[in-house]
Structure 1
């Protein structure tokens, strides 16, 4: 099958878990013998590919710009005509059977959907975040869950400065949402794929027709994890790895560690935070002010083998998110390395955990409950944590089975091609 895969990024250095899921899908489909073409934005760190001549010119919406420069850039962010034109060229040259979209916002934009439909190419779109129902992607603003835009009330984004706490950025996000509502851009997508039951449920609540959405887990190749020695010797730390930002709940995690230290329950254990992000400086200040520098270590951004090693050597990992997580690869990956997980009950993470068997679940934002769960896992013996971690690995292999998910995806493609 000739499959066109589309994402605004084609480098692991940008985009987080959605890019990882995208690249994994590209790799697996290619290994299965499909002809996979790529459409993305130019970037010096892109993966090698023969399709780069079709890629959209590089720009970064996060670069510092004057107000007037932002206004000038707005049409490109909302409806990128260059992307539309270049994708039409790729379609003409490669003639894909089906197109699978991932995150296309701001750089490629939904402008690329029309040349696909003009050629009667079925369009599938994986929902890695909430952008099609929420202008700021997250259903989260100012530290709280926010669903004010439900029913297409996108002006709420502007009123509450939901994007970057910026009036101009929020106005642009509102304008973008209304533009594609008027153009019915997303109505041209034949089928949305939700990686979690929670994403499926939330999209249905916001009005996506049931016949236009189904659940399929992200494709993920776990073979690379098998290169890590197992079981790895434990070191005296538990781990958070990922983006350091408000919605990830790290301030609550720091407060939970502070509570455990005060109660004498941390012993010689440490919390290791691996990652980078906009909240990093503020959190480091809090740790210093609270005198927790020996107990909470910021390890910086880790990737590749170095990340695998710190996961495999941890006692357990934590995802204390306060926003609606979808199906984070960090939770999947940690369990595949045989690590027990502590996750909040916010969003789709709890779908990946069997309480008291593969990990623990706590009520989001409940610092006392989080501290109790950390203490519970620290009090287990190495053998007990190992047993829980191995149960987690077996569980995640079952629900994220590569061959089964590949067959589900292929069958979905075939049904759309048959009309």
Structure 2
């Protein structure tokens, strides 16, 4: 069996981690990969280019449809005998041009198309079911055949020009190229994603629930320090101002010795740092720049708790999976994939009422008083998680899906 894996980049966040694991499936005879390499260390079989590499005048057009990427993929498919194409992310940097190449190839040869959905771009032109202008969850386009409601709200974080581009991009992908019809099976990493796809009029039989693979770190970290952390993108929708306020209030109320680590980079980092400097607990708030996995895990090995507060649904956060591999207990809001992962998959950690500082303080105090019990739950649960959601189980599930589609 020959499988072509397609994604925008080889290095980045959770989606890139899942892509890199997926494209190395040990049960597949021949794995090919198409992506934009960020460091030239990973080999791509297709030399895709991002719209960002072109001049200012061309960028808007290539954001919607890249002729270069269409030609490159079309040529590769003509020259190679591919049985399965497994797409991850493409709509941002590769553009919907790859859909046209795949659609034309499906007419020439029996081939099956799978897509893992790491965000909601098929249901929402803005990809995240979120209005960045109002900073609220938005489902106005969900279930609509033509998704142009965003034109009246200017929900894109960069303003109306990008709102318009995303609306056009969505129309091209969904209404001209028929994205939903091209894909034979959508992989939903969470029940939340599955439900939103159904609400967007995708047949449930066309959806395969497969949670992201857990790469468990088996090194035992016996001793933990009084540290709570957030790591990831530093942006408004991640609600880091709430994290700072909640941590500050908790420190004042309980007079504890905890430190807060904020790890990552993003467009809001400078403002976040200025805000933190004005808090009473500022000496206990420590910022780190973005770290690679080895450096990150070296910092995280002493951390007790992971604190998430995102305003977004979050589909299936890889941050949570990485944290529990290091015996870090999660505390998350009662929202989307964060709540689902902690409640249904982990069955340990705490869930607080979103944007409610008192609720957070109550839950973090519960974690502190029940720490040994919750940590014991985590350690005992690891064997189950590894068996059901580990990398090998993930590979087997994918291989069975590919075989089912091929036959």
Q: TM-score, normalised by structure 2?
A: 0.91
Is the Cα contact below 8 Å between 2:122 and 2:174 reproduced in 1?
no
Compared CA separation, residues 364 and 373, structure 1 to 2 (3 A)? same
Compared CA separation, residues 299 and 375, structure 1 to 2 (3 A)? farther
Q: How does 1:319-398 map to 2 (within 5 A)?
A: 319-354=308-343, 358-380=348-370, 383-384=372-373, 386-398=375-387
> Who is 1:250 aligned against?
240
Deviations 1:149-178 (A, max 9, x none): 121453322222211241100000011111
> Who is 1:48 aligned against?
42
Is the Cα contact below 8 Å between 2:48 and 2:94 reproduced in 1?
yes
Tell me if 1:25 matches 2:15. Answer: no
Tell me if 1:34 matches 2:24. Answer: no
> Who is 1:186 aligned against?
180
Number of equivalences: 398
Which residue of 137, 146, 164 maps to 2:138?
146
Which residue of 149, 156, 159 maps to 1:166?
159
Which segment drifts farther, 116-125 or 372-381?
372-381
Deviation, structure 1 residue 58: 4.2
Deviation, structure 1 residue 397: 2.4
Deviations 1:360-418 (A, max 9, x none): 1112222221122222223445x445324314534532441333322221111111112
Compared CA separation, residues 357 and 7, structure 1 to 2 (3 A)? closer
Q: Which runs of 5 or more structure 1 residues have no equivalent in the other structure?
A: none
Q: Which runs of 5 or more structure 2 residues have no equivalent in the other structure?
A: none
> Who is 1:133 aligned against?
123
Compared CA separation, residues 332 and 186, structure 1 to 2 (3 A)? same
Which residue of 100, 104, 109 maps to 2:95?
109
Compared CA separation, residues 218 and 274, structure 1 to 2 (3 A)? same
Q: Distance in 1 between matches of 2:78 and 2:328?
A: 47
- CA-atom RMSD in angstroms: 2.2
Deviation, structure 1 residue 95: 1.3
1:38 alignment partner, SS class = strand
Compared CA separation, residues 174 and 242, structure 1 to 2 (3 A)? same
Q: TM-score, normalised by structure 1?
A: 0.88
Compared CA separation, residues 205 and 395, structure 1 to 2 (3 A)? same
> Who is 2:405 aligned against?
416
Is the Cα contact below 8 Å between 1:311 and 1:317 reproduced in 2?
no
Compared CA separation, residues 73 and 305, structure 1 to 2 (3 A)? closer
Deviation, structure 1 residue 25: 1.1
